[in-house]
Structure 1
Amino acid sequence: MSIVRRTRLSFVAAVGVACMCAPIAAAHDAVIGGNVMQDAPLQEFPREIVLEFSGTPREDFNTFAVSDVDSGEILFDATPTVDQRELRVEVPADIQPGPGNYQVGFSITSSDGHPTKGSVPFSVAGAAATDAQESASGTTTPGTADPAAQNPAAQELDGLSLPAKLAIGLGGIAAVLAVIILLVARGRKNN
């Protein structure tokens, strides 16, 4: 194989890897924080719900819907205000849920202009439930939190769709194969 052909093959492999990875860079915005994203249950239901996204959502169309996971009841839905990467919504005064499992469902227009939907679960323990847990266990054990909650990279991957995860995996495999091809080609050239 001539040097020109090897160079072309290397160039095509590099362009292929770059093309496979390019859509990942323009991925939809994902939730990276907020006041309901806690390692432990909240002490009380928040009066304002804030979700922080990886990019600045557009103001075209955004909505939050908060529901009780146990009953399936939608407590309220509202249009959040956009404050840079944070979307905020005030909880209506007549909504006074107690301890339980809840979910913030969202539909936003990502910074790339595409619609993005998802949800963030959270729970409210309430003062009585927290006191009972603390007295039963005696102390809290540090370091027993969910490993994915402690690893930001794992949280980012959890927010990706299956096709995006597959694209990342295939892009990585293609990059490794391109490096192997280049090393083999250089080895043959030196012999």
Structure 2
Amino acid sequence: MYSYRIEQAIRAAAVLHREQSRNGSVPFPFVTHLFSVAMFLLDFTKDEDVIIAALLHDTIEDTDYTIEELKEDFGEKVTEIVSTLTEPKYHKDKKLNWVESKTAYAKQLKNGPTEAVLIAAADKIHNFRSSVEEYYDDHNRFLQDFGKHLDERLEVYQTISNVFNNRLDGPLLKEYNHVFDEYKNFIYDIQKSQRQEKF
């Protein structure tokens, strides 16, 4: 699937995230994640705005691109989707911690457009799968890169997972649940290793 607007979104994502890279032993450019999410979604939708929003879903959160610029460049529908996918960093001038931010994000997904939920599920599929592949044999490096609060991590992701299971169905949800189970087992293995190290 190709269109001029999608190419513009690819270019925008590449420029806006040009100095960012993924966590891991190889610092892949961050846009590899955005391209992967968008390509994955092509198996489930041909909605141009969804693919564009997938390519731009981290721009408001992680770059200096503004909501106003996004709306001017790509329209109201893309802006609504990306806004739903943007994790809030503050609430009434109070900086949110990781758990608070993710919890607020889950509420946005619960009440937001279905298109945003599709992208969020694809985003989590790629992130979970990448984490398991990258860190399956190096638990200590995972803890260094993502922190040690594993119970909180699982609890928050379960809350988000509940939204997916309430709002999605079909092959995408099946794939998400499969990958999330793999990710949970990976975290359980880390916790098991931590317990063994204490003895």
Give the TM interval when normalised to the shorter protein. Answer: under 0.3
Higher RCO (CA < 8 A, seq sep 6+)? 1
- Structure index of larger Rg: 1
Please identify which structure carries the higher strand content.
1
TM-score normalised according to structure 1 size = 0.23
TM-score normalised according to structure 2 size = 0.22
